[in-house]
A and B are shown apart, each in its own frame.
Chain A
Amino acid sequence: MVRNIVILGGNSHPTLVESICSSLGLPACNRILGKFSSGESRCEIQDSVRGKDVYIIQTGFGGNGAKLNDHFMDLCIMISACKTGSARRVTAVLPLFPYSRQPDLPYNKAGAPLFNKPPSESGRKDYTFDSVPATPAPGVPRSTGLTNGAEITNRLMKASVANGSGPPSPMINGKPNGENYFPNGVTGVNGNRIPGGLATSTSQGHFTTHDYENVSIVGAFQARPGYKQWVAQAGTLVANLLTCAGADHVITMDLHDPQVQGFFDVPVDNLYGRPLLKRYIMQNIPNYKDAVIISPDAGGAKRATAIADSMGIDFALIHKERRPTKITERQNASMMLVGNVADRVCILLDDIADTGNTITRAAKLLKKEGATKIYALLTHGVFSGDALSRINASALDKVVVTNSVPQAAHKAQLGNKLEVLDIAPIFAEAIRRVHHGESISVLFNFD
């Protein structure tokens, strides 16, 4: 029983809140958190927080009918409400930090290929620009690299469907059934009126799952000639908004970019999921010493080598070729494996899987290179878009994630393929230690 501490849960992950509370041995704070009919968030905190140490748990995950931005606003409003309610200290606990992956524009020396070029379009090719905003991920090829990427995905899907090993592919004319995910997704393009109208796109699978709802819109968008369009980076903004709402402290886990920590003026404790994943490897993978740890892209190499080194396991890396290449049979991936995986168990290691593009493609490549069994270990399993069906149809044998976002729905679809590790004890311990002013660095290296 910890005294003078209040755990306040958002709506994004009630089960995690519950298990953190039971680990700490105290009930969650009573609150009303919902929406007015106008769509504004409504928040009432029913227990006193005066002079208390308040921890607000809200993960950066929108799904199961709720929206990410709603959750984020709820969090800010709760923080602000506790502050005005004279809380001594307010700590925002964000197991998955929203907007932590900064999108960047894919760079391609050859210039951007223009998909669905409207016939009447007379602008210069190198000005029409490509950025189909995909969910940013290290090296996920967005529009520029798409020709290759989508090719692989399509083949992967076709292959598995033909084998009957997975559910039917959700891709219809390159437009997966987005309606399921975006019942009322709104998009808009401004200031871009191309004569001849928008491309009524029946694109041939040139879009990743990120883009399905935006095919015509994104295809029709053009920057002003001579200006290279760019995507706004929200990481700093989110950090500033949390501080502005009144957060005195932030606890999160496996930040995609550790630099995000520096966006804050308040202390940020970045917990690691690594020990959990490591323990899983040691306890659940037979002969793990003979396995190979794979980083699915160069960006994650550091993370993967850290575990590989500490466990004395071999390491391999998948490298994404960005150079435009002719598509031939051998190159069905513009991906290259650096290292040897033939006849060995592979452990793919990444911090986050969103659309599952990276890991499913990596799995396909590994299978081709002769891997016997493929595990994917991830801290955050967001699985948005058609990630679940993609993973079901992929060569992955086992996907291991933590419950930093709600996994119940994912588990229901993936069944035994998905293994969920509980992070509640780590967060509970971190909260307890932060509250008592004890060091939490031991949490970083317990094995």
Chain B
Amino acid sequence: MSGEMANEIKLISGRSHPELSDKIAKRLGVEVARTVSLNYSNQETSFTVGESVRDEDVFIMQSTATGDVNEGLMELLIMISACRTASARRITAVIPNFPYARQDKKDKSRAPISARLVANMLQTAGANHIVTVDLHASQVSGFFSVPVDNLYAEPSFLRYIRENFVADECVIVSPDAGGAKRATSIADHLNTAFALIHKERPRPNVVGRMVLVGNVEDKVAILVVPDDMADTCGTLVKAAAVLKENGAKSVLALVTHGILSGNAIETLNGSVLTALVVTNTVPLGDKVDRCPKLKVIDISPTIAEAIRRTHNGESVSYLFTHAPA
């Protein structure tokens, strides 16, 4: 058995985010497995496997491309199920941006809890383990009966701030009360000041004005977006305006998943926001070119390290506080 050992890391990539897969593969020193996915002319997804996964430790990387969530999800399910039928030893779905994570509760009558459905579907397809980054609500991991490793982008953000700013000149701002916990966590790590934007709601369903609690004058205000997602960026831009009015020198926003759908790019370009820092959990495509304010942090070292540790049976919790260089 020279070179052909079973139970190696087998990294399979979906179509949604090949760049990230390549980075992870490079970091792990493996090749992305030879597979090809495409759609038949009747739009059914087809997945062809070109190498053995028998008794291997399979990691399937699939993010969600904006606008094409269902295609990516279906492809992922087919890939998982294919590896299951091909006798993989263990199948780990690596989903940097968990789809439908925001539909996690029955907030109205007969509203679907789609996050739970996705969790069930992944398990039905045959996933033994899930690796994801910054779940919208960590409770979503409770929808699974298989282990879920929820990685954090926070260490990567902390490094970014430390490398680019002086802590004393920064104020960490939470754009709403719900995100205060996350924001204070970053503020504590950096040992900086903290501020909060409070949304006054005079009546239900009427968004009142935003009030800043704390001082940002002549500081670099760093907005920590609690949703972990910049979707249409509406709230974000409003919060940035409030901070600027209150004398902030510049306004930075940290967001894990840069979904940036709809007119997000135009909104950002027209805003007072100095920069939006996102990770590459979601494929950004040409958005980086279209929006000079967009700064991208590479999350692949964290994911790759999580894969390596999972494969070797080492603890992953180190990654919750440290970003591998």
Contact = CB atoms under 8 A, between A and B. Distances in A.
Contact of A99 (B34, B44, B66): B44
B113 interface: yes
Nearest to A188: B15
A240 to B, nearest CB: 5
Given A81-B110, A234-B81, A244-B121, A41 B70 contact: yes
A15 interface: no
A232 B110 contact: no
A74 B70 CA distance: 9
Contact of A39 (B69, B108, B124): B69
B50 interface: yes
Contacts, number: 224
Contact of A231 (B21, B46, B74): B46
Contact of B261 (A38, A131, A233): A38
A217 B36 contact: yes
Interface in B9-29: 12-13, 15, 18, 21
A385 interface: yes
Interface string B211-254: 00000000000000000010110000000000000000000000
Interface string A366-403: 00000000000000001011000000000000000000
Interface centre among B51, B70, B82, B103 (most CB of A within 10 A): B70
Interface stretch (A218-226, A300-308, A427-435): A218-226
Interface string A89-130: 000000000110001000000000000000000000000010
Contacts of B2: none
A73 B71 CA distance: 9
A86 to B, nearest CB: 9
B34 A221 contact: yes
A355 interface: yes
B32 interface: yes
Interface string A56-80: 0000011100011110111011101
Contact of A80 (B117, B123, B231, B259): B117
A212 to B, nearest CB: 8
A295 to B, nearest CB: 21
Interface in B32-90: 32-52, 64-71, 73-75, 77-79, 81-82, 85
B262 interface: yes
Contact of B47 (A72, A184, A186, A231): A231
Given A69-B71, A135-B41, A237 B12 contact: no
A222 B33 CA distance: 11
B107 to A, nearest CB: 10
Contacts of A347: none
Interface string B85-117: 100000000000001101100101111111011
B12 A382 contact: no
Classify chain B: how many residues form its interface, as a range.
Answer: 35 or more
Nearest to B41: A385
Interface in A11-46: 36-41, 43-46
A76 B73 CA distance: 12
A244 B125 CA distance: 10
Contacts of A224: 34, 50-52
A313 interface: no
Contacts of B47: 231-232
Given A61-B42, A129-B50, A382-B42, 6 more contacts: A62-B42, A69-B74, A185-B38, A234-B78, A237-B77, A245-B117
17 contacts: A37-B261, A38-B69, A68-B42, A72-B74, A84-B113, A129-B50, A187-B36, A187-B39, A190-B13, A190-B21, A190-B35, A191-B31, A192-B34, A230-B48, A241-B124, A245-B121, A354-B40
